[in-house]
Amino acid sequence: MLEFKVYLDKKLIQRSLLSKGEITVGRSSENDLVLPNQHVSRLHLVIAQEGDAFRLEDRSSNGVLLDGKPVAGSTLLPPQCKLGVYPFEIDCSRRQEDHTVPIPKKTPQAVLQEKDRRQEAYASNAPLRSHFGILIGESPSMQQIYRLIEDVSGHPVTVLIRGEHGTGKELVARAIHEASARRNEPFIAVNCAAIPLDLIESELFGHEKGAFTGAQTTQKGKIEEADKGTLFLDEIGELSPAAQAKLLRFLQGKVVMRLGSARETPVDTRVVAATNKDLERAVKEGTFRADLYYRIKVVQILLPPLRDRKEDIPLLAAHFIERLGEELNLPARPVLTDEALHRLQAADWPGNVRQMENAFYSALVRSRAPELLDETLLFDSEAWNSPAEMEEEAPLDAISKELLLKILKESSWDTAKAAETLKVSRGTVYYKLKKYGINLREAAKRSANM
């Protein structure tokens, strides 16, 4: 039997008496001794009985101290010792079993089931990843996504990524591309909802000179630009019926025909699509082609909302502090308080990871390093809007309606000039016009009459 006394800042915060052949310690709630802190690994260490003694095995990324000295792999524990699992200190002592301590009894079958569960957890924990390329998370759902990415990366199959706004669908698409043999070829992302319906076919499939008014030169479409690489079609459910038909033909024959051309061009482009739309309902209603639906859903990856993988929040918080701190050129990285971390994990995050990123961006802009990053800074920002106002957009690209109208007016209502001034794509300007319900011609006319 082992007794653990856990201290934080010299204060006793937990006392545990465990009588098991194998004891696990770490941040995950699956462990026997849970240490809830972002610096503690999901599975930090294992203590297993070895004859009359106990052996400690370090499974962490940050290391374990035994009586002030680093543990190299594994070592036998003395009868009494002090373990250092930053930021905790643990007094560990061996005790003889007595009748005053209730030890839960389990049937042999229950013991075997628990052993199998632990072995399975360790087997999956051996290659446990906190990152996969640009993806972050070590929750079971993220481990499953990492495995799916590995499975599909070696095959040119079409992948459909589904999830709520802000769950990171484009990040998964990029991870698939980077893990594939196409990693050195183009990765091109297209937001189908951001391109006007009358331009979507030209954007995707290209056009010949003179194909329509304004087509002064021949231009490749995004599918051709991504030849030998990956094309990411975000919000694919917003494609027009004509664009759906042409995309289906491409997926079936790997050829494209530019607008105004009678010649088909073979193209080797892999398509990864994404949506948060109910495509099944769209198929039933006749707004989305059933044959295209089955073509793009060869492999489906479902992204969980952040509220369903809150164990990943400490990792994400550390990542945002580091990356955004570097982006903002902060002289030092603010330290996240325990209270702030607790509130982060308790929040519902209707805007998912994107909302959390926005909250950190706003807080870090207003922080004064090396001050603590507390809940006041994190939870009084513009990132806490209603779910309807959540956008899957980078913090620096947030454009208000007033700013958009102001820049358009200064640009003589030229969307290309406005996009250049705002440092965004022209498609983003059209997307914002659609989002805010702005009719460009009517707005320009009203402005001229003022």
DSSP 343: H
Range of the domain at 406: 401-448
Domain holding 320: CATH number?
1.10.8.60
Q: Do 369 and 412 fall within a single domain?
A: no
Is the domain of 244 the same as that of 270?
A: yes
Q: Are residues 74 and 170 in the same domain?
A: no
Phi/psi for 55 (5° steps) reads -110, 130
CATH number at residue 253: 3.40.50.300
Question: Which of 216, 168, 164, 170 is closest to 192 using CA atoms?
Answer: 170
* Chain CA centroid to CA 412, Å: 39
Going by their DSSP bridges, the two strands 33-34 and 22-26 should be labelled as parallel
pLDDT tens for each residue of the chain, 450 residues long: 788 888 887 778 777 788 778 899 988 877 888 887 777 888 899 999 888 889 999 988 778 999 988 888 889 999 999 999 988 899 999 876 443 333 334 444 443 444 444 444 444 443 467 778 789 998 889 988 998 998 898 888 999 999 998 899 999 999 999 999 999 999 999 988 878 777 888 889 888 887 666 677 888 889 999 999 999 999 999 898 889 999 999 999 999 888 877 788 899 999 999 999 899 999 999 999 999 999 999 899 999 999 999 999 999 998 998 888 888 788 888 888 888 888 899 888 988 998 898 888 888 877 765 667 777 777 765 445 444 344 444 333 445 677 788 888 888 888 778 877 776 666 667 667 777 778 777 777 777 776
Write down which residue in 263, 279, 302 finishes a domain.
302
Of 244, 268, 302, the position where a domain reaches its end is 302
Domain-located, residue 105: no
Looking at the domain assignment, is residue 286 inside a domain?
A: yes
Dihedral sign computed on CA atoms, order 197, 201, 203, 209:
negative
The total number of structural domains that make up the chain: 4
